[in-house]
């Protein structure tokens, strides 16, 4: 069933509304008819709705049933990703959302070759959030994970320390995820490097704030492979894959 994300004010008791581009999409691309059913997602809940009216501006819906979003894992994973070259962040965002990450935060480390300034990243961020939204719809998430603003390593280290479990994946080795992530964890932050990984001072900063250093085995993964693999493994260890 097609899924659409709406804001809280678009659900009013038994009635729900879908506005703008999504309304056009429902009427013109999907060619849905009055009486057809679709899923409206709002703040982690899934609303099964019936289509009552369609126009290019707004679709009107009747809420048939509500359930806790089935697409959400039991663990909230925040991916802190050092900005990689070219468009690799797009692949990373798409896959992280599919695998169940809740938030993606780009980080500027000393080894980042790509160093976008605030203004140029604002545009990129818009695009990344669009990719996150599309991935969330496609894979059946009940929330839309967000892509945040770029932060510094210092800020990232601080935030890692605030998670129930903060992890930094270091190419020079550390404990395996399977020995570090227990099944009952509910809030994990994972920091992954860009091409060339981390310098030791960066790892130390994160460790000093309480993050655990993780090794991902002897094979050197590309910087877009490591976050995908790490999130998949974390989801498996917490019973979500």
Q: Which residues are near a second copy by CB under 8 A?
A: 70-71, 73, 95, 98-100, 138-141, 176-178, 216-222, 225, 228-230, 232-233, 235-237, 239-241
CB of 17 or CB of 170, closer to a second copy: 170
For the bound state, the minimum distance from the C-beta of residue 71 to a second copy, rounded and expressed in Å, comes to 6
CB of 53 or CB of 74, closer to a second copy: 74
CB of 133 or CB of 229, closer to a second copy: 229
| CB-based contacts of 17, cutoff 8 Å, min separation 6 | 6, 10, 11, 58, 59, 60, 61
For the bound state, the minimum distance from the C-beta of residue 79 to a second copy, rounded and expressed in Å, comes to 14
> What proportions of the chain, in percent to the nearest 5, are helix, strand and coil?
35, 30, 35
For the bound state, the minimum distance from the C-beta of residue 109 to a second copy, rounded and expressed in Å, comes to 21
Burial class (CB in 10 A: 0-12, 13-18, 19+), 91: middle
Q: Give the closest residue to 193 by CA, choosing from 163, 227, 161, 228.
A: 227
Tally Cβ neighbours within 10 Å of residue 211.
24
For the bound state, the minimum distance from the C-beta of residue 217 to a second copy, rounded and expressed in Å, comes to 5
* Alpha carbon distance 4, 61 (integer Å): 12
CB of 27 or CB of 145, closer to a second copy: 145
């Amino acid at each position: 069933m097609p899924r659409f994300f709406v804001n809280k004010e678009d659900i009013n008791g038994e009635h729900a509304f879908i506005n703008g581009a999504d309304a056009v999409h429902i009427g013109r691309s999907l060619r849905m008819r009055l009486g057809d059913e679709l899923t409206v997602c709002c703040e982690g809940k899934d609303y099964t709705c019936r289509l009552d009216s369609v126009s290019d501006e707004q679709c009107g819906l009747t809420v048939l049933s509500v359930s806790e979003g089935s697409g959400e894992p039991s663990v909230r994973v925040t991916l802190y990703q050092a900005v990689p070259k070219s468009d690799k962040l797009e692949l990373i965002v798409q896959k992280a959302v599919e695998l169940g990450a809740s938030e993606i935060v780009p980080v500027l480390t000393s080894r980042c070759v790509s160093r976008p300034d605030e203004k140029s990243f604002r545009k990129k961020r818009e695009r990344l959030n669009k990719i996150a939204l599309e991935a969330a719809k496609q894979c059946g998430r009940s929330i839309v994970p967000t892509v945040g603003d770029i932060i510094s390593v210092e800020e990232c280290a601080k935030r890692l320390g605030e998670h129930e479990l903060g992890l930094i994946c270091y190419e020079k080795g550390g404990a395996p995820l399977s020995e570090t992530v227990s099944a009952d964890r509910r809030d994990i932050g994972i920091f992954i490097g860009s091409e060339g990984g981390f310098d030791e001072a960066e790892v130390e900063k994160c460790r000093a704030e309480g993050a655990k250093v993780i090794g991902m085995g002897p094979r050197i993964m590309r910087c877009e492979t490591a976050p995908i693999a790490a999130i998949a493994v974390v989801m498996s260890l917490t019973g979500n894959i």
